[in-house]
Structure 1
Amino acid sequence: MTDNDLVHGVGARVGRAAVNALRAPLSVVGLVLVPLQLVAYPMILVTIGVPLLLLAVALTRRYADLHRSLAGRLLGEEIPRPYRQPPNRGPMTRVRTVATDPATWRDLAFLPVNAVTGVACFVVPLGLWVGGVVGLVTPLLWLLGADDLEFNGIAETTPGSYVLAPLIACLALLLAWLATPALPRAHARITRALLGPTARSTLTTRVRELAETRADSVDAQAAELRRIERDLHDGAQARLVALGMNLGMAEELMARDPQAAAELLAEARQSSSQALAELRDLVRGIHPPVLADRGLDGALRALAMASPLTVEVDLELPGRPEAPVESAVYFACAETLTNAAKHSGATAAWLRLRHDGARLSVMIGDDGRGGAEPTENGGLRGIERRLAVFDGTLGIASPVGGPTIVTLELPCALSSEKTSSSSGTV
């Protein structure tokens, strides 16, 4: 390391210590939120306590979010928010959820801890730098003012300080060099410990997500069973009943009116063909044969070819996912392309699929008018439920005026390896 590098490094750390010291007042400011929140709890019994508590908690969480962001930036990681999601059942339910959330009380405990540790971790390094510099400069001032020292009669008591003071100053500068990055990181770890999700809260959140996913999956399966039952009742079953009636009538007419019996048999044959076609369509709706035969790659290309839009496909899938994952992705892509063709006014679309070793990601875009939003009973919400069963996510970017880009991501392991890559416009 050259002298210039050393000087530059020292200057950088001194500057960092000075900037960090400016955060000390921010740590103390949070103490104002402690009495505000504590006073709000007993006032819940009166009307004003509800908005006051919600306001105090909201301000505290904003303050905690700021420290989570600063600590995460310093540690090089994101610190998630650990709060429970309150249900939409009125203000009192929301207050009860907020007041009983352990993260709310951990935020409250963080405020005084942050005031003490923040001042210590951010002011001490700068104090050590200043003390070290003063310790080096002081002997020089003593030498320059030796006559004054002798005049005051204290020259005999300070000769050892000419050596001791620089040694203490060097020690202070060494501690300052080490403390400048170490103490803020220690404060960031304290912040993460108090404001980040605990193992228990993470487990609770995960259990809640799984319960919601299971409920959505059960609802989706029930809806799918009702659809299959309705299709069977209104389609194939009705045709099979008509087929049985025609065969009975043909049996009665066989002896006395062979011509009419032959017409009924021909009609019965046509009804059987239509019933068989409807059953095949129903089976394809449950699990398309092309998906089982050609895999997700071939099925998506066939889906793009059948779309009324001009769909450009870019697929890179080095193996086959598990069958349930293939089915979920296929039907999600089918629903998205159908929505683009029916509602967006698009003339062209594109489909891109990638697998990075742990996750399968699909991006579907179109040149339509945009403005797509998931609704409670809409197709996009159905896709979200379907993907949530596999811990998948749905992302939608659809500004008014277009274009619309739908992103599907879900954890996925490939069961068999192959080397295939296909792209083109169909």
Structure 2
Amino acid sequence: MESRDWIRDGIRAVAGGVLAIPLAILNIPLFVLFVVSLVLTPVLGLGLVLLPLVTMLIRARADLARRLGAGFGVPAARPYRPRPERSPVGSLRRYRWLMTDPATWRDLAWLLPGTVTGLVLGVLSLAVPLYGIQGILLLPLWIWLGTGNYGYGMIWPIDTLGEGFLSLPQGALILAIGIAAAPYLRWVDAHVNRFFLGPTRNAELRLRVSELTVTRADTVDAQAAELRRIERDLHDGAQARLVALGMTIGLAEEMVGSDPETARKLLAEARETSSTALVELRHLVRGIHPPVLAERGLEGAVRALAMALPIPTSVGAAVPGRFDTPVESAAYFAVAEVLANITRHSFARNAEVQLWHSDDVLHMRVCDDGLGGADPAGGTGLRGIERRLAAFDGTMILSSPPGGPTVVTMELPCALSSPRISPSSGTV
């Protein structure tokens, strides 16, 4: 890791420690409000209104802790049960939903321990670097004040000029230690939070079932849309050509005896129509599963795709073998859709595709130097990629700031089905 990386991460962790202190203090009034609301539940039904409101505040605070933990490499999924429909604040149904959710009580159990760990680790994250900064600044202050009594009563006293010079390397060392240790302190705090706020085994199974339900519905919808597209292309293209072909051949049969010259012209027209229909059928089949993908695998298909683009596109691949046909097809069309978006919308001069496989995950990264500003909510292309990958538990991460560059990172869990026989290398 480069020096600027650990310095940047350390400063970010110190800032996280500063933020953790007031957030940890906030846990205490939230805990008190929850207990008071729980006590007031039998009193005129006040708890039916107060307790759900306080619980939602606690959940918002817990969600913030989860997001902060994810920023330091400790993600934690939301374990809450789905909210029932038609359950306004103050309704018995909403109250029962919150009170019977185990995650509500796990959030409550986290508030006080989260206060202790947040305060202790936050103060440590801030105090050590500040102590190092104090050591660095003492010599200039000592010289500026021009007195040997400046350090009286300070944590780091200086009585002589020699002690002042000695404080500089000591302060720099302590500052470096504080910056280097801050990410680990944030990591420990995030793990403590995840212990309470992360989903239990049963909650993970429930979330997994919900996710599979959504992805299955998306897959069914995508398959239905694909079938409709195929039917429409057949009806408007090859089917119409074949109907016209049959009519032309029928006319030629009727005119063979009376007008052979016209019959020959009709047969020539029928031959051209059959060729056109064959081309359309080939394009339709290529849209279902490209022959180049079946013949050359994912790497070769992506290289062939890049060669057909109007902008220079380099391809780097480290794929040691073939994947199952559905996985290769999903990966190919995902990359193809991203490259199509680049040519249509980005005004890029260059693009790059990287493919590699590690730890049973196929990684795909597509970059361009275009205008940026891509937004999945702004069209169906990127959302379609997400749905296509989600059917295989895949993910897509988009980074596209205004002005570029745009980087689309896709991951697809899969294992190799067969080793690669003829390796290829280089770029397109």
* 2:423 pairs with one of 389, 412, 420: 420
* Greater alpha carbon shift after TM alignment, 29-38 vs 312-321: 29-38
Q: 3-state DSSP class of the match of 1:221?
A: helix
Counterpart contact for 2:319–2:357, Cα < 8 Å: yes
Per the TM alignment, residue 59 of structure 1 is displaced from its structure 2 partner at its CA by 2.6
Distance 2:345 2:378 in 1: 17
TM score, norm. by length of structure 2: 0.68
* 2:413 pairs with one of 406, 411, 414: 411
Counterpart of 1:80, as a letter, is A
Per the TM alignment, residue 403 of structure 1 is displaced from its structure 2 partner at its CA by 1.4
Distance 2:85 2:310 in 1: 41
* 1:236 pairs with one of 238, 248, 252: 238
* Greater alpha carbon shift after TM alignment, 56-65 vs 236-245: 56-65
Q: 1:231 to 1:78 in 2, by over 3 A?
A: closer
Q: 3-state DSSP class of the match of 2:367?
A: strand
Distance 2:75 2:248 in 1: 70
Per the TM alignment, residue 61 of structure 1 is displaced from its structure 2 partner at its CA by 2.2
Equivalent residue number for residue 207 of structure 2: 205
* 1:279 pairs with one of 273, 278, 281: 281
- Offset from partner CA, 1:254-290 (integer Å, 9 cap, x none): 1111111111111100000000111111111100000
Counterpart contact for 1:44–1:53, Cα < 8 Å: no
Equivalent residue number for residue 272 of structure 2: 270
2:62 is the counterpart of 1:59:
no
Per the TM alignment, residue 98 of structure 1 is displaced from its structure 2 partner at its CA by 5.7
Counterpart contact for 1:103–1:195, Cα < 8 Å: yes
Per the TM alignment, residue 84 of structure 1 is displaced from its structure 2 partner at its CA by 4.2
Counterpart of 1:102, as a letter, is P
* 2:79 pairs with one of 79, 82, 90: 82
Counterpart of 2:38, as a letter, is L
Per the TM alignment, residue 234 of structure 1 is displaced from its structure 2 partner at its CA by 0.3
Equivalent residue number for residue 315 of structure 2: 313
Per the TM alignment, residue 344 of structure 1 is displaced from its structure 2 partner at its CA by 1.4
Q: 3-state DSSP class of the match of 2:344?
A: helix
Equivalent residue number for residue 380 of structure 2: 378
Q: 3-state DSSP class of the match of 1:391?
A: coil
Equivalent residue number for residue 103 of structure 2: 103
Per the TM alignment, residue 376 of structure 1 is displaced from its structure 2 partner at its CA by 7.8
Equivalent residue number for residue 31 of structure 1: 31
Counterpart contact for 1:43–1:49, Cα < 8 Å: no
- Offset from partner CA, 1:135-159 (integer Å, 9 cap, x none): xxxxxxxxxxxxxxxxxxxxxxxxx
Distance 2:277 2:271 in 1: 10
Counterpart contact for 1:36–1:56, Cα < 8 Å: no
Distance 1:288 1:326 in 2: 11
1:256-267 superposed matches below 5 A? 256-267=258-269
Distance 1:209 1:332 in 2: 20
Equivalent residue number for residue 158 of structure 1: none
Q: 3-state DSSP class of the match of 1:375?
A: helix
Distance 1:221 1:343 in 2: 26
Counterpart contact for 2:371–2:402, Cα < 8 Å: yes
Distance 1:379 1:87 in 2: 32
Distance 2:379 2:40 in 1: 39
Counterpart contact for 1:243–1:271, Cα < 8 Å: yes
Distance 2:328 2:307 in 1: 18
Counterpart of 2:31, as a letter, is L
Counterpart contact for 2:84–2:94, Cα < 8 Å: no
Per the TM alignment, residue 422 of structure 1 is displaced from its structure 2 partner at its CA by 2.3
Q: 1:401 to 1:203 in 2, by over 3 A?
A: same
Distance 1:290 1:60 in 2: 54
Counterpart of 1:312, as a letter, is S
- Rg larger in structure: 1
Counterpart contact for 1:34–1:111, Cα < 8 Å: no
TM score, norm. by length of structure 1: 0.68
5+ residue gaps, structure 2, are 1-19, 121-186
Equivalent residue number for residue 158 of structure 2: none
5+ residue gaps, structure 1, are 1-19, 123-184
Distance 1:383 1:110 in 2: 38
Counterpart contact for 1:316–1:421, Cα < 8 Å: no
Aligned residues: 338
The percent of aligned pairs where both chains have the same amino acid is 55
Distance 2:363 2:266 in 1: 54
Counterpart of 1:38, as a letter, is L
Counterpart of 2:80, as a letter, is Y
